[in-house]
A and B are shown apart, each in its own frame.
Chain A
């Protein structure tokens, strides 16, 4: 089945850039997502990228997709303490059901 992997933990200083990485195995992925989970809350969609795109920018967020290597990254510029959360990568396949598979999540700690 599909597999989505992320490193479990990332620590950055406030004001620096954060880069959260994700690798996936399903070559037929159509959409790739980044969700944010704040403490004690459910997941919220941050951004997504269609599989025929290489990059998408949305304010402080930049998503890069390397389809050949099946690698997705999320860059957060000027990281703030409010960005401390768990970030989940997810991919959606192109099958009839178009199942979404989530990664393990990366806990981002922002040090003031």
Chain B
């Protein structure tokens, strides 16, 4: 089944304790992206990757890191989480960002609480 998977789905942690949220897609997609969803703010892009070893900042990258060593995986790293990073996080992928191949497929989300 074609899908985007994220782990963990739920995480409660404390300020300053490094964590990684994994994202994997099995559709051989070039483009992958991380978003955070907050009430009243919709989805805001954190980081994106156009292909392996190519990543760039989105609208709200502060406090986050990503890597794209393999095409299928795009982990989101919080080196020192803070309470303002409490949010619902979505990973998404698409075949590319070229016209005609632009539908983004979303993972189920990771609900992160930082105490």
* A interface residues with partner B (beta carbon < 8 Å): 1, 4, 6, 8, 30-31, 40-45, 48, 88, 92, 97-100, 102-105
Q: How far is the CA of A30 from the CA of B4 in the complex (A)?
A: 26
Q: Provide the residues of chain A in CB contact with B107, threshold 8 Å.
A: 42
Q: Provide the residues of chain B in CB contact with A98, threshold 8 Å.
A: 97, 102
Q: How far is the CA of A107 from the CA of B97 in the complex (A)?
A: 28
Q: Provide the residues of chain B in CB contact with A8, threshold 8 Å.
A: 40
Interface-central residue, B42, B56, B90, B102, by most chain A CB under 10 Å:
B42
Given contacts A30-B99, A31-B102, A43 and B41 within 8 Å (CB-CB): no
Contact of A104 among B42, B97, B103 (CB under 8 A): B42
CB 8 Å contact bits of B59-75 with A (1 = contact, 0 = none): 10000000000000000
A53 smallest CB distance to B (angstroms): 14
A105 and B42 contacting across the interface, CB-CB below 8 Å: yes
Q: Provide the residues of chain B in CB contact with A40, threshold 8 Å.
A: 108-109
Q: How far is the CA of A45 from the CA of B41 in the complex (A)?
A: 19
B7 smallest CB distance to A (angstroms): 14
B45 interface contact, C-beta 8 A: yes
B106 interface contact, C-beta 8 A: yes
Q: Which residue of A lies closest to B91 (CB)?
A: A42
Q: How far is the CA of A102 from the CA of B60 in the complex (A)?
A: 13
Q: Provide the residues of chain A in CB contact with B106, threshold 8 Å.
A: 42-44
Q: How far is the CA of A31 from the CA of B99 in the complex (A)?
A: 9
B104 and A100 contacting across the interface, CB-CB below 8 Å: yes
A4 smallest CB distance to B (angstroms): 8
Q: Which residue of B lies closest to A45 (CB)?
A: B103
A1 and B108 contacting across the interface, CB-CB below 8 Å: no
Contact of B102 among A41, A92, A102, A103 (CB under 8 A): A92
Contact sample, A vs B, 5 pairs, CB 8 Å cutoff = A40-B108, A43-B104, A44-B106, A45-B104, A48-B102
A77 smallest CB distance to B (angstroms): 23
CB 8 Å contact bits of B29-65 with A (1 = contact, 0 = none): 0000001000011111100001000001001000000
